[in-house]
Copies of this chain bind each other. A is one copy, B any other.
Amino acid sequence: MLSAATALGASALVSGSARAAPAGAPPGAVLYEVPDDPTKEQGRPLLADGGYGTRSQFESEVRSKAGNPTDLTSWTFTPLAAQIGNLTPSGLHFERHHGGIPTIDPARHQLILHGLVDTAKRFTMADLKSLPSVTRKHFIECSGNTLTEWAKPTAKTVQVTHGLLSTSEWTGVLFSTLAREVGLKDGAQWVLGEGADASVMTRSVPLEKMLSDGMIVYGQNGEAIRPEQGYPLRLLLPGYEGNTHIKWLRRLQVSDRPFMTREETSKYTDLMPDGRAKLFTLQMAAKSVVTFPSADMMLPKPGLYEIRGIAWSGHGRVQSVEVSVDGGRSWRFARIENPPEPMCTVRFSLPWAWDGQPATLQSRCTDETGATQPTRDELVKLRGLNSVYHYNAIQSWAVAADGGVSNVHA
């Protein structure tokens, strides 16, 4: 029962029998023997974890790759079906980077704010942390989330169809606070954000958005933001597509026009049916997905189940979520499990008595602007099939008579 540790990629059992090693134990996990009666054996002492705790050896969900990313430009998906509550554990936050994860010393990192300002300034991390801060809970969704569903449904799990979505409590300085520090000049309309990674990731953001709720964040879920999420500094734009939340943020340039960077011309535009591309479709639309039951699961037998899912909108608060078990012919309002906050996920649920017959489960979100998540047919009618990004149609999961759940286009 004493503490010990192993190298990442291997697992070791501490003073005990093989019974203690669960099937899916994560790589590197320290495995403790499981006593027959834990009340008859002294538990392990404190600080065996070095003072920074880890998950139970029985918890093994991880972010995963999909869609053949290369080793260098890549993304990983949050295991949404395993998420409990309305936060994504920082270690499971989805990631997307365009030049790998840089290693940045916060003592040397600076943010430059210049362009159409009265006085250009550099801010150290200490400068930023000494300014008034705000703490807000928001989701970030990659604009490419659910892009698998434009084509025939082949993605096998909700982790792959919807896992480019995560929710954190973010802490940092409002851009409006920095703007008062430097003074904005007449004509200021756009702000460029630039990352310190190997892709020098850049996006243009309307000044109006930056001033209304744009944040320069250094905190995530109570501690410094994680390396994959932009340590030590990230731009946070509530409700905007993920790639605009520039990670490893090092520069903000105020201008009278957008900068037409690589990532807003060759990429991250929406190709319409007529062959023209829409630029700057920045706000993520109302969306939801059932996470239980979802594809690749098996319901053991007919009976009472609690349908569970996640809903969100980049346009404001979630107003309501409806659930259908008959492929959209009839709908019932789901219970919203937490007070809706602006540009933040909610968890929803609805009890369901499954009679053992085939069923098609769906959910649809309506946000406070009145916008409702479209069916796939409605979305395709509007947008065609040339698009890659911003797929927000209703997701369908088919439950077969044997209890198997699969991804279908209803």
Contact = CB atoms under 8 A, between A and B. Distances in A.
Nearest to A70: B45
A115 interface: no
A305 to B, nearest CB: 7
Contact of A43 (B28, B97, B105, B132): B97
A74 interface: yes
A91 B61 CA distance: 17
A38 to B, nearest CB: 4
B34 A50 contact: no
A40 B102 CA distance: 10
A132 B27 contact: no
Interface string A268-301: 0000000000000000000000000000000000
Contacts of A130: 304-306
A43 B103 contact: yes
A102 B43 contact: yes
B102 A35 contact: yes
Candidate in A38, A64, A76 with the most chain B CB atoms within 10 angstroms: A38
Interface stretch (A4-12, A376-384, A395-403): A4-12
Contacts of A248: 38
Copies in the complex: 2
Interface stretch (A218-226, A236-244, A386-394): A218-226
A95 B61 CA distance: 24
Interface string A242-261: 00000010000000000000
A52 B91 contact: yes
Contacts of A337: 133-135
Contacts of A1: 100, 103
Contacts of A197: 38-39, 43
Contacts of A20: 103
B226 A85 contact: no
A186 interface: no
Interface of chain A: mostly helix, strand, loop or mixed: loop
A339 to B, nearest CB: 9
A104 interface: yes
A44 interface: yes
A291 to B, nearest CB: 13
Contacts of A84: 171, 218-219, 222-224
A27 B5 CA distance: 11
Nearest to A346: B135
A306 B51 contact: no
A72 B1 CA distance: 12
Closest 8 CB pairs of A and B: A43-B100, A51-B62, A5-B8, A84-B219, A38-B102, A85-B171, A87-B222, A32-B103
Given A38-B104, A84-B218, 20 more contacts: A28-B50, A32-B103, A34-B105, A38-B103, A39-B198, A41-B102, A43-B198, A46-B69, A46-B95, A47-B63, A51-B63, A52-B63, A53-B93, A53-B226, A82-B223, A85-B169, A130-B304, A131-B306, A133-B349, A167-B222
